[in-house]
Structure 1
Amino acid sequence: MRPPLPALAAAFRPALPAVAVLAAAVTLTTACGSADDWSRPHPAPSAVGTLGAGFTGSASPAPEATVTPRPGSWTGVHPSAGYRVVLLTAGADRPTRALVTAVEEWADDEHVDLRTVSAKDASQLVPAITKAMAMGPDLVVSAGNDLVDALATVTPNHLEQQFLVVGAELAEPTHNVTAVDWSGASFRGEGLGMSSTYDPGSFTAERCAAAIRAGVAGVLNDLTGIVVWLDEI
């Protein structure tokens, strides 16, 4: 069962740093072999395939709700051709590296057009998010606890951009932010500290692979602004 959400420790989010000077320092990696520079419009992405029984309950989940999908109920859903994704990453810890590997392998398997934007330190977090959005992706996928507070600051002001946070979540997400989390992850930022159930060993290759696939399946089916809870995969 998901651990309860503790009371917020901080009522105000930190102010945005000046991003213009810092944006140039953010690292951008382009997927090998892609000739598309994303400068031209492309068809809106759609889900190929359907969710299996038990991904959600009988009713559509309410905003900020937590759903606990039946294991494997997301595997029948794939992105349509030309899906544009930016992987936004920060941190070199083992859980973050496991998530990055899972996203890269998923993109390769699904023939997703993937770009990666990396923030090397705290001063680059907001510029990295800004850079990712400016590229015009269908989805921004975030990997790394360091990004959570910066995302909480930026995402409410850009409701047209869809975000997927894997291995963490925002304490108060807007409808454009979907998260995939589990008991061993469950970092929420906002001064709440690390969950008592946090376990770096829970970021296995299997769970991280399930996280990106389940999260994207939800986004492609317009199940956004929720937390997808994956204690069972």
Structure 2
Amino acid sequence: MRRPLRAVAMLAAATALITGCGSGDDWSRPHAKPSPVGTFGPGFVDPSTRPAPEGTLTPRPGSWSGVHPSKDYRVVLLTVGDEPTTKALVTAVKGWADDEDADLRTVVADAHDPVPGIVKAVDMRPDLIVSAGNDLVDPLALVTASHLSQQFLVVGAELAEPTHNVTAVDWSGASFRGEGLGMSSTYDPNSFTPERCAAAVRAGVAAVLHDLTGIVVWLD
């Protein structure tokens, strides 16, 4: 017997839940390459030396605050899990998108098999995919190297061996790296404060907009 159409639709939706806000653009129309609006303040990066691939950049606090995305910046928030740390990051991403009037869509991946959710986010072809949730780290390592034209920003964690299209923002209370490396000895869920998470999102996006990618942005 055939399954009712509603049951089929619910099954398809279980792979990844997508929600959106912003300009209402369906993202099918041509889209100009995003560009940074504004520049770094003193101390974000040495202008004479680019960070090495997989290197670590430690910017001066607040040096990223003058950088904003150009109009209609398309961002997918990719998330999994309901831990307080993940919720804090999700709130920070949504707050940043509201402040910047970015066109934000959300993909909630299946906790038992996040890869289809990641692929769904890639297929949407956003300017940036922002990842929130430690359970995405290992699955991202499987997918990101096959989609080098897609920029990813991992907040509050990092990939053990990122490609040039994966940028991370971390701090001493975070630093989850996956691949059996587990939590940092300094991991502290209380460090995921609203202020810290908001700064991490802004610093990471600022780095990506200025093509400082494939590195770890470390917040003191």
Same fold (TM over 0.5): yes
SS at match of 1:122: coil
Distance 1:132 1:94 in 2: 23
Q: Supply the distance in 2 between the matched residues of 1:45 and 1:83 (Cα, whole angstroms).
A: 6
Q: CA deviation at 1:23?
A: 7.3
The correspondence of residues 25-174 of structure 1 with structure 2, limited to 5 A, is: 25-31=15-21, 34-57=23-46, 58-123=48-113, 125-174=114-163
In structure 2, give the amino acid aligned to 1:102.
A
User: For residues 84-107 of structure 1, what are the alpha-carbon distances to aligned partners after superposition, in whole Å with 9 as ceiling and x for unaligned?
Assistant: 000000110000000000000000
Secondary structure in structure 2 of the residue aligned to 1:115: strand
Please say if residues 90 and 147 of structure 1, whose CA atoms lie closer than 8 Å, have aligned partners that are also in contact.
Answer: yes
Matching of residue 227 in structure 1 with residue 216 in structure 2: yes
Gaps of 5+ in 2: 1-10
Q: Deviations over 1:149-176 (max 9, x none)?
A: 0001110111000000000000100000
- Aligned residue pairs total 209
Q: Distance in 2 between matches of 1:24 and 1:45?
A: 32
Moved over 6 A (4+): none
Equivalent position of 2:199 in the other structure: 210
Identity %: 74
Tell me which amino acid in the other structure corresponds to 1:112.
Answer: A
User: Hey, what's the Cα distance between the residues in 2 that align with 1:29 and 1:23?
Assistant: 11
Shift of 1:194: 1.1
Specify the code of the residue in structure 2 equivalent to 1:114: L
Aligned-pair CA distance for 1:196: 0.8
1:91 and 1:144 in contact (8 A); partners too:
yes
Partner SS for 2:167 = strand
Give unpaired runs (5+ residues) of structure 1.
1-20
The answer on whether the counterparts of 2:23 and 2:72 sit within 8 Å (CA) in structure 1 is: no
After TM superposition, give the deviation of residue 193 of structure 1 in Å: 1.4
Equivalents in 2 of 1:198, 1:101: separation in Å? 20
Q: CA deviation at 1:22?
A: 7.1
Cα distance in 2 between the residues matched to 1:200 and 1:66: 22
Give how far 1:53 is off. 1.4
What's the C-alpha RMSD, in Å, of the aligned pairs? Answer: 1.3
Deviation readout 1:41-77 (Å, 9 max, x if unpaired): 1111000000111112341101000010001110000
TM-score by length of 2: 0.92
AA at the equivalent of 2:59: P
Once residues 111 and 44 of structure 1 are traced to their aligned partners in structure 2, the CA distance between those partners, rounded to angstroms, is: 17
Amino acid at match of 2:127: D
Structure-1 separation of matches of 2:32 and 2:188:
40
Which range moves more in the overlay, 113-122 or 22-31?
Answer: 22-31
